[in-house]
């Protein structure tokens, strides 16, 4: 038996999140100095895929008196919803879980991308057959074409930001590398021609190998072509990305961590993508862990949900899965954007339309490359 505040610490140490005991009769916070409370008997955390409510039923109600109930607390001090997965609650604590309570906290994404310490952007693009459909049940162009256009525009914007000099004397500063991996009937780099088969490319190589399109006498550079064929092997794509990024990080330990942006319009067809996503976000440089953004493209005219801070607002298990896969935005990305007040805001968009997609990718790339 122990004091109540000591039991709260026991649960925190095992489960990886804080809790508060309340009196079920009055909803009042129980005094921490209350004694003769049963010790928390477990040594290992409850399964992360289970919900807060399930954890309470299995582990709390069997041990503690009926007049006591427990609230799981998020990292920002707010109570966790009963429908939240425990892994989601734990992820709101940067370094407070039982497994890493003594770990030194990584610096908060402050390394400038430079030629000496280049950054890395990796786009994962769903190229399955359903990408031939228009956005949100509307008429018009295919999602595959729209996504290709947006990625091409973002690539050009990153290159333009790193151009110096004028005309014949201009030079591209290789402050980052870019990769685009398509997944559909196969897993492949989406670059073609001289860039085919190369996973991560310097900006100068991308710039010098641009393809040219012309419309209404206006010429523009592009690199990525639209593809819509096959199923949605997201697990295989994430596994492939992990292999690519592991190698890059081993050679750039002091760089800003890679930013991965996964754009999809449907569920994975080759299994549960969450473990593969977690393997990616567990990789880190000295400046922080890899940031994984997930953008789900709309197939209906449902209202989009952008950068949520809780999974409770999401409509189904699929959307909650993508939310759980997505990284919490660091302060350097949230700063200057009023609606990003919560430190639990995630890099996730559900039922995004074209304008939402553009905004989503710009936040992921422009904030990461911004001067700080």
Output the CA angle 160-329-320, nearest 5 degrees: 115
32: in domain: yes
Beta 163-164 vs 68-73: how paired, if at all? unpaired
Same domain, residue pair 302 and 207: yes
Measure CA of the first residue to CA of the last residue in the chain; give whole Å.
51
Q: Which domain holds residue 76?
A: 4-100
Q: Is 137 left (phi over 0), alpha (psi -120 to 50) or beta?
A: left
110: in domain: no
What pLDDT does 310 receive?
86
At 129, is the secondary structure helix, strand, or coil? helix
Cβ(306)–Cβ(297) below 8 Å: no
Residues 102, 103, 106, 108: what is their CA dihedral angle, to the nearest 10 degrees?
-30
210: in domain: yes
What pLDDT does 250 receive?
95
Which DSSP category does 346 fall into? B
Which among 239, 246, 123 has a CA at the least distance from the CA of 181? 123
Alpha carbon distances (Å) from 60 to 54, 63, 70, 88: 10, 5, 8, 19
Residues 6+ apart with CB under 8 A from 350: 296, 304, 305, 306, 308, 314, 315, 319, 322, 323
What pLDDT does 24 receive?
61
Boundary (domain end) residue, out of 100, 131, 164: 100
Output the CA angle 176-195-294, nearest 5 degrees: 55
114: in domain: no
106: in domain: no
Domain holding 214: CATH number? 3.40.50.410
207: in domain: yes
Same domain, residue pair 65 and 169: no
Boundary (domain end) residue, out of 71, 100, 129: 100
Same domain, residue pair 295 and 334: yes
Which among 58, 69, 59, 55 has a CA at the least distance from the CA of 4? 69
What pLDDT does 23 receive?
67
Residues 6+ apart with CB under 8 A from 253: 285, 286
Exposed/middle/buried for residue 210 (C-beta within 10 Å: 0-12, 13-18, 19+): middle
At 92, is the secondary structure helix, strand, or coil? coil
What pLDDT does 97 receive?
38
Same domain, residue pair 93 and 215: no
Same domain, residue pair 241 and 336: yes
Same domain, residue pair 202 and 84: no
Same domain, residue pair 83 and 139: no
107: in domain: no
> pLDDT in tens for each of the 372 residues of the chain?
677 778 888 888 888 888 887 766 555 555 545 677 788 787 778 876 788 888 888 888 777 765 567 888 888 778 888 888 888 888 887 543 334 433 334 346 888 899 999 999 999 999 999 999 987 655 567 899 989 999 999 999 899 889 887 765 688 999 999 999 999 999 999 998 899 999 999 999 999 999 998 887 788 889 999 999 999 999 999 999 999 999 999 999 999 999 999 999 989 999 999 999 999 999 999 898 999 999 998 777 678 888 898 888 888 888 889 999 999 888 878 776 766 667 788 999 998 876 777 777 877 677 566 544
Number of Cβ within a 10 Å radius of residue 9 = 16
105: in domain: no
What pLDDT does 357 receive?
75
What pLDDT does 94 receive?
56
Boundary (domain end) residue, out of 51, 71, 100: 100
What pLDDT does 137 receive?
56
Same domain, residue pair 92 and 126: no
What pLDDT does 98 receive?
38
CA distance 3 to 288: 37
Residue 44 CA from chain centroid, whole number: 26
Same domain, residue pair 136 and 218: yes
Alpha carbon distances (Å) from 5 to 25, 49, 121: 20, 27, 45
CA distance 2 to 38: 6
Same domain, residue pair 130 and 263: yes
| Structural domain count of the chain | 2
Same domain, residue pair 13 and 53: yes
User: What is the three-state SS of 15-84?
Assistant: HCCEEEEEECCCCCECCCCCCCECCCCCCCCCCCCCEHHHHHHHHHCCCCCCCEEEEEECCCCCECCCCC
What pLDDT does 102 receive?
37
CA distance 260 to 371: 20
What pLDDT does 140 receive?
61
What pLDDT does 148 receive?
93
CA distance 208 to 295: 29
Same domain, residue pair 151 and 181: yes
């Amino acid at each position: 038996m122990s004091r109540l505040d000591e039991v709260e610490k026991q649960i925190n140490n095992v489960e990886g999140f804080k809790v508060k005991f309340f009196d079920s009769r009055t909803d009042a916070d129980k005094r921490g100095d209350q004694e003769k409370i049963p010790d928390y008997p477990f040594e290992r955390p409850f399964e992360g895929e289970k919900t807060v409510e399930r954890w309470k039923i299995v582990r709390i109600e069997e041990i503690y008196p009926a007049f006591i109930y427990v609230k799981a607390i998020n990292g920002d001090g707010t109570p966790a919803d009963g429908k939240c997965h425990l892994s989601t609650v734990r992820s709101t604590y940067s370094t407070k879980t039982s497994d890493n309570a003594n770990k030194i906290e990584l610096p908060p994404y402050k390394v400038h991308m430079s030629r000496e310490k280049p950054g890395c952007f990796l786009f994962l693009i769903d190229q399955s057959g359903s990408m031939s459909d228009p956005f949100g049940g509307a008429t018009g162009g295919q999602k595959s074409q729209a996504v290709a256009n947006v990625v091409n525009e973002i690539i050009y914007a990153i290159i333009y930001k790193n151009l110096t000099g004028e005309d014949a004397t201009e030079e591209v500063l290789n402050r980052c590398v870019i990769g685009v991996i398509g997944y559909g009937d196969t897993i492949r780099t989406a670059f073609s021609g001289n860039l085919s088969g190369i996973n991560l490319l310097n900006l100068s190589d991308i710039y010098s190998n641009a393809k040219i399109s012309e419309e209404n006498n206006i010429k523009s550079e592009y690199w990525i072509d639209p593809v819509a064929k096959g199923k949605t092997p997201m697990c295989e794509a994430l596994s492939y990305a992990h292999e690519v990024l592991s190698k890059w990080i081993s050679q750039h330990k002091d760089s800003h961590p890679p930013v991965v942006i996964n754009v999809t319009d449907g569920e994975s067809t080759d299994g549960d993508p969450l473990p593969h996503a977690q393997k990616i976000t567990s990789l880190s440089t000295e400046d922080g862990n890899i940031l994984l953004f997930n953008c789900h493209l709309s197939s209906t005219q449902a209202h989009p949900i952008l950068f949520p801070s809780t999974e409770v607002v999401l409509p189904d298990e699929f959307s909650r899965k993508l939310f759980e896969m997505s990284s919490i935005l660091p302060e350097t990305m949230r700063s200057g954007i009023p609606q990003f007040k919560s430190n639990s805001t995630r890099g996730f968009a559900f039922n995004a339309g074209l304008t939402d997609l553009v905004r989503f990718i710009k936040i992921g790339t422009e904030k990461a490359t911004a001067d700080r």
